[in-house]
């Protein structure tokens, strides 16, 4: 685990993060939480409730909109993670950042942060925001039957859409784009071992 952590941190720090600056959009941040259990790595996702204002019922990473008191987007991701699933900042080890993504179904710019989290961990789920926690082995996400891609023309641009299928759940949208970028980096790190 220590070697993977160092290599992933190194790979994330070497790359040039793509920042999106657009004052007409809302800044937000998410945490891509990874943990190790029984010989493999997992990613923890949340499934949003039907009560929340946006992204109802969608699978996402813990996160939300930037608030002035946060000061930084990493603090936004950590605050939201604590609020949604009870993982506090002192329990999370940030490994690096991925590229900003625009949510096409809402008006957000999402800044993703990759983190290791302790496991097992007694999560305290905010049931108003989070319907359930979904734990997915990274090996399953890398399986050949998991990913489906489509190309859609948005404006004048051909955009690749990603759909990850796992046990009847579908991860799509900005979450799938973030996940796709992470899995590319993770695969490279693991193939270097």
CA distance 188 to 193: 9
pLDDT score at 49: 80
Assign 67 a pLDDT band (cuts: 50, 70, 90): very high
Q: Burial letters for 24-34: b for 16+ Cβ neighbours within 10 Å, e otherwise? A: ebebbbbbbbb
Q: Which residues contact 143 (CB under 8 A, 6 or more apart)?
A: none
The count of domains in the chain is 1
pLDDT at residue 31, as a whole number: 98
Residue 80: name the closest of 113, 51, 56, 42 by CA. Answer: 113
- CATH number, domain with residue 21: 3.90.79.10
Domain that holds residue 78: 2-140
Q: Please tell me the least confidently modeled range out of 77-81, 122-126, 182-186.
A: 122-126
Q: Would you say 26 and 102 are in contact if contact means Cβ atoms under 8 Å apart?
A: no
Instruction: Please give the model's pTM, rounded to 2 decimal places.
Output: 0.93
The answer to whether position 22 is within a domain reads yes
pLDDT on residue 58: 86
Q: Please, which pLDDT band fits residue 163 given cuts at 50, 70 and 90?
A: very high
Q: How far apart are CA 15 and CA 103, in angstroms?
A: 22
- Three-class SS of residue 71? coil
Residue 42 lies in a domain: yes
């Amino acid at each position: 685990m220590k070697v993977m952590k160092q290599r992933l941190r190194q790979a994330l720090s070497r790359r040039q993060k793509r920042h999106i600056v657009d004052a007409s959009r809302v800044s937000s941040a998410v945490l891509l939480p990874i943990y190790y259990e029984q010989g493999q790595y997992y990613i923890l996702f949340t499934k949003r409730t039907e009560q929340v204002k946006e992204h109802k019922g969608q699978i996402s990473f813990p996160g939300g909109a930037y608030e002035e008191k946060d000061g930084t987007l990493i603090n936004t991701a950590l605050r939201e993670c604590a609020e949604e699933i009870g993982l506090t900042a002192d329990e999370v080890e940030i490994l690096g950042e991925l590229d900003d993504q625009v949510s096409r179904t809402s008006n957000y710019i999402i800044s993703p942060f990759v983190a290791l989290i302790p496991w097992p961990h007694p999560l305290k789920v905010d049931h108003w925001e989070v319907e359930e926690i979904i734990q997915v082995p990274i090996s399953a996400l890398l399986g050949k039957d998991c990913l489906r891609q489509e190309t859609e023309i948005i404006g004048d641009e051909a955009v690749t859409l990603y759909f990850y299928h796992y046990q009847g759940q579908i991860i799509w949208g900005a979450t799938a784009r973030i996940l796709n970028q992470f899995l590319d980096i993770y695969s490279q790190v693991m193939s270097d071992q």
